Amino acid sequence: MRITVLGSGTSHGVPVIGCKCPVCTDTDPRDKRYRSSIMVEEGGSRIVIDTGYEFRLQMLRENVSGLDAVLYTHSHADHVSGIDDLRVFSRERNLPIYGNAETMQFIKEHYAYAFDKDSFPGNPHLVPNVLAPLEEVSIAGIKVIPLPLEHGRVKKMPVYGYRFSSFAYLTDCTFIPPAVFEALKGVRTIMIGALRKTAHGAHFSFDEAYAAAKKAGADRIYFTHINHETGCEEINSLYEDAESAYDTMVLEV
């Protein structure tokens, strides 16, 4: 299975508009981060997780001409706002999208035109599917287990992480329930959201994400959803067995 990092940045992206900080102005290409998203490819099938603001640019950069499905983690704007560009991938047939009940409800309400059978032909044509937590399903022949996570320490938003065989993608979380650690048994590689060095109300810090990934038994750990306070080079010096994901990174898992 091939994992391509389409984006590894937090909601502002990196660089942040107008910011002159050392990370936003440095020349390391790994510190240019689109909003977080990955592409999963196996056996001729291709799915993406989330369609943020740069979805079109990400598809162009990776030269993608077809998609079988989209999985959504949650409905925050940095994860769904590129949804209209799914029109390209739903010309020939309706494109299935998946997520938890809250996310599918939000998308159906805010992008109602994409679900109207009699809509304008140029619109996206999407089919919503609610996934049950912790129940393995096969999507375009790729087996996936939705992992319910909490995003936010006070106001908690339900988010799905996803496990594919020995790989798991967990972003935008501040709490991983015991049942999810159970469901992560046997995972080798984890890509996990980590905003910055210090704690944040809606995201793990590097230390918290690292501890969670170690607790889950991962031996390859990649941070994603990173903000502009920490450059890739510095993140890679924090732990011996964890590193920063960066846009265009490819993992074979």
**68 or 172, CB closer to Zn ion?**
172
Residues 195/225, Cβ–Cβ less than 8 Å: yes
- How is residue 12 written in tokens? 């502002």
What does the per-residue mask of binding to Zn ion show for 79-118, with x meaning CB under 5 A? ----------------------------------------
Shortest spacing between CB 243 and Zn ion, in angstroms: 20
CA R_g for the chain: 17
CA distance 4 to 39: 5
Residue 76 binds to Zn ion (criterion: CB under 5 A): yes
Shortest spacing between CB 50 and Zn ion, in angstroms: 8
CA distance 1 to 116: 34
Handedness of CA 107, 112, 113, 115 (dihedral sign): positive
Residue 19 binds to Zn ion (criterion: CB under 5 A): yes
Out of 78, 125, 128, 218, point to the residue binding Zn ion (CB under 5 A): 78
Residues in the chain: 253
Shortest spacing between CB 100 and Zn ion, in angstroms: 13
Q: Which residues contact 44 (CB under 8 A, 6 or more apart)?
A: none
Handedness of CA 125, 42, 203, 28 (dihedral sign): negative
Handedness of CA 169, 105, 108, 9 (dihedral sign): negative
Residues 223/206, Cβ–Cβ less than 8 Å: yes
What does the per-residue mask of binding to Zn ion show for 166-195, with x meaning CB under 5 A? ------x-----------------------
Shortest spacing between CB 74 and Zn ion, in angstroms: 6
Read off the DSSP letter of residue 26.
-
User: CB under 5 A: which stretch of 1-9, 68-76, 94-102, 239-247 binds Zn ion?
Assistant: 68-76
CA distance 165 to 253: 9
Residue 228 binds to Zn ion (criterion: CB under 5 A): yes
CA atoms within 13 A on the CB side of 70: 32
Shortest spacing between CB 49 and Zn ion, in angstroms: 12
User: CB under 5 A: which stretch of 38-46, 73-81, 83-91, 209-217 binds Zn ion?
Assistant: 73-81
Shortest spacing between CB 170 and Zn ion, in angstroms: 12
Within 121-160, the residues that bind Zn ion by CB under 5 A are none
User: CB under 5 A: which stretch of 54-62, 70-78, 105-113, 117-125 binds Zn ion?
Assistant: 70-78
User: CB under 5 A: which stretch of 140-148, 215-223, 228-236, 237-245 binds Zn ion?
Assistant: 228-236
- Footprint of Zn ion on this chain (CB under 5 A)? 16, 19, 21, 24, 76, 78, 172, 228
